[in-house]
């Protein structure tokens, strides 16, 4: 629940509720795709002709994306899926910064300018306690959530198509 710059009115509370739906929906969508990439790698790894294609379990999501992109680029069997898959990975990677703010940040809502500020600690060599901030205006919430929902649906249909084409038993 975001901190609010002044006691909430019913209108302010409705905005807060929309933001909470946005934050939760965004993280849920991201997690869905994060798991799906790992599951695809796992299923490819035990399905012929891809058996043994993975050199180990990838726990960090960036490592999973790199492994999935490598699989798409290197396997001729995936040629017809390559372009779409790489574009989806690129679009997902572009969401990583917002995901990190949502997952690891604290939010404050400034009712006067209708802006949410998300602060998080991003350690650097110079300052291990460095704080960074991201502002999101109320008008950005619906378009950003819609964009993430659409990406998730496209990604899940892509995964389903791969599963059906290669009998991944996804």
State the pLDDT confidence band at 21, using cuts at 50, 70 and 90.
very high
Question: Is the torsion defined by CA of 8, 12, 18, 19 positive or negative?
Answer: negative
Overall average pLDDT of the 30-43 stretch: 96
| Mean of pLDDT over the chain | 94
Peptide bond between residue 49 and the one before it cis (omega within 30 degrees of 0): yes
> Is pLDDT above 80 for 68?
yes
Specify the 3-state DSSP secondary structure of 57: coil
**In this predicted structure, what is the pLDDT of residue 1?**
67
pTM for the complete prediction? 0.90
Span 71-115, pLDDT tens digits: 999 999 999 999 999 999 999 999 999 999 999 999 999 999 999
Nearest to 141 by CA among 11, 8, 20: 20
Q: Output the pLDDT for position 135.
A: 98
Which residues are within 8 A (CB) of 68 and not within 5 positions of it... i.e. 6 or more apart? Answer: 37, 40, 41, 85, 89
Look at residues 79, 83, 96, 75 and name the one whose alpha carbon lies nearest to residue 33: 96
- Pairing mode of beta strands 131-137, 115-121: antiparallel
pLDDT of residue 88: 98
């Amino acid at each position: 629940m975001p901190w609010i710059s002044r006691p909430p009115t019913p209108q302010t509370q409705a905005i807060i509720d929309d933001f909470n739906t946005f934050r939760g929906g965004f993280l849920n969508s991201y997690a869905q795709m994060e798991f799906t990439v790992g599951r695809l790698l796992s299923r490819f790894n035990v399905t012929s002709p891809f058996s043994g294609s993975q050199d180990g379990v990838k726990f960090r999501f960036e490592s999973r994306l790199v492994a999935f992109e490598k699989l798409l680029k290197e396997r001729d069997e995936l040629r017809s899926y390559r372009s779409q898959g790489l574009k989806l990975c690129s679009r997902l990677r572009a969401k990583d910064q917002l995901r990190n703010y949502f997952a690891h940040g604290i939010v404050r809502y400034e009712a006067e300018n209708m802006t949410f500020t998300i602060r998080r600690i991003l350690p650097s060599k110079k300052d291990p306690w460095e704080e960074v901030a991201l502002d999101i205006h109320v008008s950005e919430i619906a378009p950003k959530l819609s964009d993430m929902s659409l990406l998730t649906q496209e990604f899940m249909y892509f995964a389903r198509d791969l599963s059906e084409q290669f009998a991944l038993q996804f």
